[in-house]
Structure 1
Amino acid sequence: MAGFMAGPTNLYTVGVCNGILQKMGILEEGTSVFVGLPFRLILWIILTVISIAYILFYAERVKKDPSRSLMKEVDVSDLILEHDDNVTFTGRHILVLLSILVAMVMTIFGMQKGYDGVKWTIDDVSAIFLASALFSGFVGKMKPSEIADAFLAGAKGAIGGAMIVGFARAVYWIMNTAGINATIVYNATQVLKGMNPIGAAIGIVLLVSLLNGLIPSGSGKGALLSPIIIPIAMELGLTSQTSVLAYQFGDGITNMFWFSYGTLMIFLGYGKVSIQKWWKFFVPLMLIFFVLAAGALIVAIHTGF
């Protein structure tokens, strides 16, 4: 989360926004889409240290007093993996690991280069890892029924999250097809007009944070918002990179708050963590990040970032 938020090399937020700025003529052609890398690296280090400290603080508190755990009433005994310490590492294990490695290499190549000029989508990547899983099962001498049972056991924790993601995508499709998204974005951005630079920067963070619930995709929001928000922000005295930074914070801070964020809901389902318990854990950290974002934007404004 900290890395995605600071985004030193985040193709989905910084890359998309700066790519659009190049097409608009705001950022010179040939300029790296990751301009401003040193400042973002510093932010990444700060945010990462704070995230680790927050998690360790919670873990230490629960270690001293287990009754303070947010999960104290949840039975997670079935999440404990049983293992045999006497298992011998064999050639079959090597083949399984190699199949995973091949799948990862093919994914990287497919996403970057593609086949016959067409880059892979998430469907192609899913097919590769499914093939790797089937290969691993047969190498491990599992029967087809055992492979199917193992697949279902792994998938059942994600079903709830997948349904929520499906409903969220349906709502997004309806709103996007009807032009409702564009209407909301246009009217919301009008609030920024007349603000001072600091107010505009913080306003962008809050605006994008709210829209994050409707449009979870960082690249999708970037393509929709940046052509509207950044010119307005620049008229109010913000540089293009400070505007992009404000967008990054708005997108990154609340990514793990909204239940429309598919990855979050799937992993919460796997861990048997309700969204209410997650909010109790995450909201304090989210508020800390908002304060840090405001401070970072003030520094960016005064340094002409």
Structure 2
Amino acid sequence: MTKAFKVPHTLILLLLMMIVAYVATWLVPQGFFETVTLDNGRQTVVPGTFALTDEQIRLTPMDFLVAIPRAFAAAQDVIFFVFIVGGVLAVARATGTIDALIGNLLEKFGQKPHMLIFMVVFCFAMASGAIGTAGEYIPFVLILVGLCKAMRLDSMTAVGMVVTGYGIGYGVSAFNPFTVMVAQTISEVPVYSGIEVRLAIFIPFVLIGFHHVWSYAKKVLENPANSMTAHLPCPLADIDEADYPKLALRHKLILLGLVLTIATAVWGISQHGWYLYELGALFILWGIVTAVLGKLSANTAADQFIEGVKDLATTAMLIGVARGIALIMEDGQILHSLVYGMSYPLSFVGSEIAAVGMFIMQTLLNLFIPSGSGQAYVTIPLLAPVGDLVGVYRQVVVLAYQFGDGFSNMIIPTNAVLMGIIGMAGVPYHLWFRFCFPLMIKLMTAAAIVLVLAVTFDYGADVQPTITTNVTQN
């Protein structure tokens, strides 16, 4: 009798992807584009300069093994931020604040789960689209997991709300400074131009995401056996509806501290370029204030913090190994080769096909270049002149880049924020993939339709720069 196939652990899946990347460095021709350094210190590629390297680098098995600890070092900012958030939330939980908040929200949304789902997806999409928030959502995961459990939903629904809002917000952002502004600057169209179209498609795409999450949630409500995570232990599993404490003044003050922490983080990111180190510092401060307001002894707070960190050790491992996939490709000098190989055929097809092809290319490349701004600096200088050649205006090129970078953030295992979110909720990657893949198909279909219409109706013609193209065709 054939033994049933068992899906490997997420860590094994990521290691297998690292092996595939390692083998690819031996098979894919190695090459580079020339790069120039911009005024902001970032490097961008020069179109038409791709060349194969004279000397091929052959990574050894030792290079592969060394890449794993190097990847942990490269992802240390995300890893330690996740540790800090996990520890501080454990301290907040010990004060009863999280349980009290869940009880309070349950009173308001217990009979209206669809309202909760729409509100979370919409608000997270708004925040990601406006200021590029991503890792800042990690603190909300356990709160939503506990709330969903109390509403007879599951942790997959909680993750679905967070990640759907995050991915759609990036994908259809009107003015995200880390993606839209960077891509438009590189493509030499006015910053934040074409905003009317991006605002117009925001709600339709949010509704697609909401419908997907709510359709799944309804099945779980009808029959808990329909839950993809029914067989898994749930974080906050010890919460019982009868045990919810009242939302007392000290709880409200602690929650006010969280709001001020997030608000300060948003201000610091937008005004001073803060990121995870500064955000970690803010959460440490909130943790100290929480322990004081919650009247926890120093030893109790320390014990709770350590327990919270312990719970996220697996998540940290996944984040570190995920970074190793791109690292192997960079070491093996095939990243630019992949970009060139994907972009070159687009110069021979019609404008509508080219626009959709750019979107698909950006989606695939996000697996290897998970940074939104980093991807823009590598791909936009190549795709903008290709668009000039085939009749795709640069505004459409930027839109294709947004769609590809944003939506794929929801599913690529090299996205450290995604791995942090699903790890916090205890959702294995293969189950998340099953949940998210149909949503990706829906969003990609809608995005392809928008791109074809954008080309058809000359979106961006009014801001198209007059530039002599130099696309090399070999």
State the TM-score, normalizing by the size of structure 1.
0.87
1:12-37 CA distances to partner (integer Å, 9 max, x unpaired)? 22111012123xxxx2xxx3x22111
Aligned partner of 1:124 among 278, 288, 291: 278
Separation in structure 1 between the aligned mates of residue 252 and residue 230 of structure 2, nearest angstrom: 39
Q: Which residue of 2 aligns with 1:247?
A: 401
1:149–1:267 distance in 2 versus 1, CA, 3 Å: farther
1:150–1:297 distance in 2 versus 1, CA, 3 Å: same
The residue matched to 2:230 in structure 1 has which SS?
coil
Separation in structure 1 between the aligned mates of residue 253 and residue 233 of structure 2, nearest angstrom: 35
Letter in 1 for 2:442: I
The residue matched to 1:257 in structure 2 has which SS?
coil
- Residue 212 of structure 2 is aligned to residue 54 of structure 1: yes
Identity value in percent: 29
Q: Which residue of 1 aligns with 2:95?
A: none
Q: Which residue of 2 aligns with 1:89?
A: 248
Q: Which residue of 2 aligns with 1:154?
A: 308
1:79: Cα distance to partner?
Answer: 3.3
Q: Which residue of 2 aligns with 1:13?
A: 179
Separation in structure 1 between the aligned mates of residue 421 and residue 235 of structure 2, nearest angstrom: 17
1:271: Cα distance to partner?
Answer: 1.9
Q: Is the 8 A contact 2:323 2:416 kept in 1?
A: no
The residue matched to 1:141 in structure 2 has which SS?
coil
Aligned partner of 1:64 among 208, 214, 222: 222
Separation in structure 2 between the aligned mates of residue 79 and residue 270 of structure 1, nearest angstrom: 13
Q: Which residue of 2 aligns with 1:296?
A: 450
Q: What residue ranges of structure 2 are gaps of 5+ in the alignment?
A: 1-166, 460-474
Aligned partner of 1:43 among 201, 208, 224: 201
| RMSD of aligned residue pairs (Cα, Å) | 2.2
Separation in structure 2 between the aligned mates of residue 102 and residue 62 of structure 1, nearest angstrom: 35
1:75-102 CA distances to partner (integer Å, 9 max, x unpaired)? 3274354585554623x44543443344
Alignment of 1:222-237 (within 5 A): 222-237=376-391
Q: Which residue of 1 aligns with 2:265?
A: 107
Q: Which residue of 1 aligns with 2:419?
A: 265
1:80–1:208 distance in 2 versus 1, CA, 3 Å: farther
Letter in 2 for 1:199: I
Q: How many residues align?
A: 292
State the TM-score, normalizing by the size of structure 2.
0.57
1:121–1:198 distance in 2 versus 1, CA, 3 Å: same
Q: What residue ranges of structure 1 are gaps of 5+ in the alignment?
A: none
Moved more, 94-103 or 52-61: 94-103
Letter in 1 for 2:342: A
1:170–1:279 distance in 2 versus 1, CA, 3 Å: closer
1:284-304 CA distances to partner (integer Å, 9 max, x unpaired)? 111111111111111111111
1:82-140 CA distances to partner (integer Å, 9 max, x unpaired)? 585554623x44543443344334323332333xxxx4332122112112212211221
Separation in structure 2 between the aligned mates of residue 88 and residue 237 of structure 1, nearest angstrom: 59
